[in-house]
Structure 1
């Protein structure tokens, strides 16, 4: 009986883990694709990864790109961009990214993404703090 209960628990825990891992992998792919679009000054490509609510605020790729260049310079241009911890909750993923900007300063970004009706993840926000600053 205990073995059967243990098997049920293991199935539940490990049976759902790949979905979470797949969600994180998909979200990281979206973030990396947007990061690469910024690197290549591809406004349309970067904009394509923004969630509908972001597109409402910034209704064109060039407006979105200007906001990122002026408001998020470490995201726009950097020396390194490495994924940290991630968290999934329902249809949302929160992903930390460790960034070293063009001047060598360390930053922490927290990206949030949401699963869209078409099954893709889109970026709903990005909070940026210098590494070591209190939230």
Structure 2
């Protein structure tokens, strides 16, 4: 069941709320961007499930695109903390999605986080719908 969580960057310039069903799963990817950030995201949310409350002007955008689709990662220009991303990935249906960095959620109990299922994606090889051979480091 979806629950509304609240999140922010470190300096609180960027704040948001998101309706997330953690029982539906979380995601970890082995692409170089996700690996370098040790990113752990809420599963793919619909755009209506995410609401940026403050800080649109404080956000920077790092985007990447290819035959597989496109992604944009957003982070605070002041403190550098990544908060969320959006995009579309053809291997996952090509529908627009929003992803929320779970570490940016301010009111997510640790017990709830560690109980959530994790889905692994092989973004390193643009095989987003496949599980990488090695996941222990993610």
TM-score by length of 1: 0.27
More strand by share: 2
Structure 1 or 2, whichever has the larger Rg, is: 1
More helix by share: 1
The structure whose RCO (Cα within 8 Å, separation 6+) is larger is: 2
